[in-house]
Amino acid sequence: MPPQTFGKAINQALTQAMELSPDVMVLGQLVDYKSGVFGTTTGLVERFGPERVQDFPVSEGLMTSAAIGAALVGMRPVIVHQRIDFMMYSLDAIVNWLSLMRFKSNGHSNLPVTIRAIVGKGWGQGPQHSKSLHAWFAHLPGLKVAVPATAYDAKGLLLESIFGEDPVMIIEHRSLYSMTEDVPEAPYRVRFGHAHVRRRGKDVTLVAIGSMVPMALRAADQLASESIDVEVVDLRTLSPLDDGTVCESVSKTKRLVVADPAWRSVSVAAEIIALVSERLGDKLLANPQRICFPDSHTPMSAPLEKEYYPDEARMVQVVRKASLE
């Protein structure tokens, strides 16, 4: 398996999906530019033509509606939003149409639309380019939500989405695009609803989402030097959520910390702590903890941004405290 960056793995998945099926098409602003969208769509228009790789005006709602129409006549569109913040203009199409079709048609109709939404992080992205809104969409029935943390999962989850039968939102953190991992060249699919235990441990369960996963693994390595054995669970998909793997891990360690790259209140972290407390509350040896963003918009200045985002030292501190209670 040759090493690939996270961004290159996405490009490879799109290329292979379009080779496998003439029904796959890609829509989005600047998807047909030579540079692609952070390199993820580079080369597609040259290979598959403008009918299947279409630049789109700055009209997010129209683009999503066009994809819904294309899916209704048998296409498998992939929409690319360079920033999830501006995807909000397409909420009516997503909430009132895309997520409802299977329910409203009594299971007779489906919309295999894949939405790639990118989250900016670091480099002074500020409050309009860095929102982490995965909890919003995981709350919505009828829509699957994935947050890949590795190049392998980025490719496999994207192919699973494109060739699945339901609408999917894949939320990609820009900070992961340069990360490298061995990725099979052949097409493969990563199933939804299956979390991955990235590191085995017996003292604390550290559930991590998306960009928090690499940090969780580094924190676990550091804590291992203090003889604190941390189990790191990468959720991979938020809807469906693999509650079985999370509860199995916490049943073993009896301690839980959740690292969620989003605002603290009403977060996926809060949901995970709630479900574990409901099922295993009387078995826990310490109060569950969450590592999230403050309930405030992202500052643009570098010093404030550094304070805003949780870092590895903060994660080590929280997990260490949980292990000692």
**What residues are annotated to the active site?**
129
Confirm if 319 and 223 have CB atoms less than 8 A apart. Answer: yes
DSSP 3-state of 147? coil
Cβ atoms < 10 Å from Cβ of 313 = 10
Task: Give DSSP secondary structure letters for 150-204.
Answer: SHHHHHHHHHHHHHSSS-EEEEEEGGGTT-EEE--SS---PPTT--EEEE--SSE
Question: What are the angstrom distances between the C-alpha of 114 and each of 53, 71, 159, 192, 245?
Answer: 14, 10, 10, 14, 26
Give CA–CA dist 250/245, Å, rounded. Answer: 9
Q: Are strands 230-234 and 204-208 parallel, antiparallel or unpaired?
A: parallel
Give CA–CA dist 235/276, Å, rounded. Answer: 14
